[in-house]
């Protein structure tokens, strides 16, 4: 008989963090190689690397603090998206916010939440509500793309971000679906 439920110990948390870190490095290197081998006109791999670094700053902050970082990620995710839209609108609307910036923000937001879910197995249920909010916001661009013409003129980033959104959401559901449902029931009960 054990006295406490299975909790991850320090070694396991460090191992999970290390694995996620290696995966990030592999993604960054792959992007650099693909970027250099295809076209060097735009160094888009730098955006990916910046996104990975941003995700990790958020994750490390979360791991070493006692706050529910899910709320901060969600808030940042929404505010930065709205901010880019405003800036684009103020400076002669060219559509870079909805075509490029917002899909990148969506990818970073979803990947950060996924890393947090994997790294902190015992607290994943706390992120559930935020994951759902991020998911709902993330599918707004692709919905706009299918419903309205001429708003999203360069759909490639929107499509990529949507694929990543669905992938991370399914991953989270697979890892902790029951707990997410429990948390949603708790938070949204009438």
The binding site for other proteins (CB under 8 A) comprises 1-7, 9-11, 13-14, 62-67, 119-120, 122-123, 125, 186-187
The CB-of-1 to other proteins minimum distance in angstroms stands at: 6
Using CA atoms, how far residue 121 sits from 7, 13, 59, in Å, is: 9, 9, 13
Q: Which two tokens stand for residue 153?
A: 């003129």
Q: How far apart are CA 24 and CA 2, in angstroms?
A: 36
CB of 178 to other proteins, least distance (A): 11
> Are 169 and 135 spatial neighbours (Cβ–Cβ below 8 Å)?
yes
Rank residues 94 and 187 by Cβ distance to other proteins and give the closer one. 187
Residue 85 beta carbon to other proteins: minimum distance, rounded to whole angstroms: 32
For other proteins, the closer of residues 46 and 75 by Cβ is 75
Give 41 or 64: the residue with its C-beta nearer to other proteins.
64
Cβ nearer to other proteins, comparing 13 with 78: 13
Contact in structure between 137 and 77 (CB atoms under 8 Å): yes
For residues 110 and 94, what is the distance between their CA atoms, to the nearest angstrom?
26
* Smallest distance from other proteins to CB 6, Å: 7
Distance separating alpha carbons of residues 148 and 141, to the nearest angstrom: 10
């Amino acid at each position: 008989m054990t006295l406490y439920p299975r909790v991850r110990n320090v070694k396991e948390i460090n191992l999970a963090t290390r694995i996620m870190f290696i995966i990030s490095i592999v993604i960054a290197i792959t992007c650099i190689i693909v970027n250099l081998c295809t076209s060097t006109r735009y160094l888009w791999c730098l955006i990916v690397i910046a996104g990975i670094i941003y995700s990790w700053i958020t994750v490390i902050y979360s791991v070493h603090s006692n706050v529910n970082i899910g709320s901060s990620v969600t808030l940042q995710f929404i505010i930065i998206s709205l901010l880019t839209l405003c800036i684009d609108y103020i400076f002669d609307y060219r559509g870079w916010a909805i075509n490029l910036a917002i899909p990148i923000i969506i990818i970073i937001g979803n990947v950060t939440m996924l890393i947090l879910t994997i790294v902190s197995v015992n607290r994943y249920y706390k992120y559930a509500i935020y994951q759902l909010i991020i998911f709902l916001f993330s599918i707004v661009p692709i919905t706009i793309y299918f419903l309205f013409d001429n708003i999203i003129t360069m759909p490639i980033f929107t499509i990529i971000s949507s694929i990543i959104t669905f992938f991370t959401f399914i991953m989270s559901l697979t890892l902790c679906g029951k707990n997410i449902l429990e948390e949603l029931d708790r938070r949204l009960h009438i």
